[in-house]
Structure 1
Amino acid sequence: MKREERTEYIGKTWNILNLIWFAMFFSVLGYTVLGLFLKGYVGFEFGEESLNRLRTLFYLLSIGTITYSVYARRSYLRRAGKEKKLEKALEVYRIAVIVSLAISEFIGIFGFLLLVLGDRFYGFPLLITSGLTMLYHRPKRSEILSLQSLK
């Protein structure tokens, strides 16, 4: 692959990944707005004890989710660095970014569910954590450019 083609291919990959990141990042904002509007329209109520258990479960799952997203991304990035061809390395990099963003979005879903159930005080931190995790996992130009030396 010629240098110009490589640069164009990397640019296209970069643009696609940023579009995916933008959409997923702003979906957390959508969860927040939707959760606030749906708060009063849930057809059932949780007791305080049930809500405490659910809150604890969501927070524990969020900690596990963050840990797994970091591990999965690092694992995929190591694999991308071992590839011999640029196309294959960028494919693995795309998978790394999309998987880590999708895993991070679970945290936002947990926050959304807590908002819908009326637990604003504990729902917002999960939504904020989801957004921060997505910022951490956003596509990085330096990572893509480090793959450029591949054939």
Structure 2
Amino acid sequence: MGKEDAEKIRSLWSSLNMVWFAMFFSVLIYAVLGLFLKGYIGFTFGEEGLKKVRTIFYLLTIGTITYSVYARRSYLAKASAESSFDGALNTYRIAVIVSNAIAEFIGVFGFLLLIMGDRFYGFPLLITSGLAMLYHRPRRSEILALQEKKPVVK
């Protein structure tokens, strides 16, 4: 590994970790804001309406998790197939940011349930979002595998 490649890896690693931390921390902010904004949405849902919204959000969560894993794997496969190391790093950057952004949608669903007054079912979505973001965090081993032209997808 040359000095130039090492610098590219270090730069990518630090920027991706900063982006990942900001996105992960936003889920904690959703939890705090959701607790304080309960009842400030200007309208009320009946129990039946809240149950329907909850069901929709939980179904969307299942689809979102599935799609985030699929998107990350497809981007990582594309990164492994890149001919240049710079192209592979750019595709890896896209893979991490897109998969974490998709996982953050789950946190938004939890936040919306919290401000609608559904605390018991809002927090599991926030926790699921955090766990999905932990799963999609940037990994140094994946970056090094790209440099060695090894497949990243397991």
Fold shared, TM-score > 0.5 on shorter chain: yes
**Equivalent residue, structure 2, for 1:70:** 69
1:44-89 superposed Cα distances (whole Å, 9 cap, x missing partner): 1001111000000000000000000000000000000011111000
**Equivalent residue, structure 2, for 1:111:** 110
Partners of 2:147 and 2:80 lie apart in 1 by 10
Q: TM-score, normalised by structure 2?
A: 0.95
Does residue 28 of the first structure (1) align with residue 14 of the second (2)? no
Give the gaps of 5 or more residues in structure 1: none
**Equivalent residue, structure 1, for 2:99:** 100
The runs of at least 4 aligned residues of structure 1 exceeding 4 Å deviation read none
Does residue 43 of the first structure (1) align with residue 42 of the second (2)? yes
After superposition, the CA RMSD in angstroms is 0.9
Q: TM-score, normalised by structure 1?
A: 0.97
Partners of 1:15 and 1:50 lie apart in 2 by 44
Identity %: 70
Partners of 1:72 and 1:125 lie apart in 2 by 23
Does residue 4 of the first structure (1) align with residue 15 of the second (2)? no
Does residue 145 of the first structure (1) align with residue 124 of the second (2)? no
Partners of 2:85 and 2:69 lie apart in 1 by 23
Partners of 1:91 and 1:42 lie apart in 2 by 40
Paired AA for residue 54 in structure 1: V
**Equivalent residue, structure 2, for 1:121:** 120
Moved more, 121-130 or 141-150: 141-150
Paired AA for residue 139 in structure 2: K
1:109-132 superposed Cα distances (whole Å, 9 cap, x missing partner): 000000000000000000000000
Partners of 2:32 and 2:9 lie apart in 1 by 35
The 3-state SS of whatever aligns with 2:147 is coil
Q: How does 1:130-141 map to 2 (within 5 A)?
A: 130-141=129-140
Give the gaps of 5 or more residues in structure 2: 150-154
**Equivalent residue, structure 2, for 1:55:** 54
1:86-111 superposed Cα distances (whole Å, 9 cap, x missing partner): 10000000000000000000000000
